[in-house]
Structure 1
Amino acid sequence: MSFKVLAAALKKQWVAERTRCQSCGMPVIYDKKYRPGSDYCSYCHDGKSFVKEMGLAEMRARVQGLLKNRKAPALIRLYMHWRLATLRRWRKSAGLR
């Protein structure tokens, strides 16, 4: 793999990590109804409030189900299980700042 290809892949992943929904972790580049400047995707937040009130455990189960349906590798599912607790909506309930 050339350096340019690796650099491009890393940049794409970095952008996706910076622009994740702060509730479900989905990169907002995949949300067709995304509102620029919002921290949340349209599936989680309607612009005024969260679409569904839930806890971190329920969101983890929801994301794991979606990833299994999309046949995501186990490593990705494990990463997202951990990553959800770091998102803005869940930091306090997970004991993070």
Structure 2
Amino acid sequence: MISETNIMKGAMKILRNERNRCQSCGMPLFYDKKPKVHPHYCSYCHDGSSFRDGKATLRDMQKKVDELLVARNANRGQRLYMRLRLATLKRWRESRAYVPKTF
């Protein structure tokens, strides 16, 4: 039988993992090869002073992440989740660049 304590522990772990994602591409920050470049962004997206792809739009990032997920054999559901999840990240919320698009 699953206890409420175990459910809460699981929920807290999920929240920690979601909070510790790059706020541009959604990659979990513990996978970053050069941590500490920026507290909210991975080293692939931010060099410490500016975004590496400064003129990128949300759609550009969605396409880039989708291509990476296809290369890693992610299923359609995972790809759709990331497409929608990207729009909730800090960089894209602040730019108001969210334009929904289906694939």
TM range (shorter): 0.7 to 0.9
**How far did 1:32 drift?**
2.0
How many residues align structurally? 95
Is 2:86 aligned against 1:88? Answer: no
Q: Pick the structure with greater CA Rg.
A: 2
TM-score of the pair, normalised by structure 1: 0.82
Opposite residue 74 of structure 2, the aligned amino acid is A
User: Any unmatched runs of 5+ in structure 2?
Assistant: none
Structure 1 residues 76, 90: closer, same or farther in 2, change over 3 A? same
Root mean square deviation, CA, Å: 2.2
State the 1:94 CA deviation: 1.9
| Cα distance between partner residues in 2 of 1:6 and 1:78 | 26
Letter in 2 for 1:84: L
Unaligned segments of structure 1, at least 5 residues: none
Amino acid aligned to 2:98? A
Cα deviation digits, residues 58-96 of structure 1 (max 9, x gap):
00000000011111121111000001011111112228x
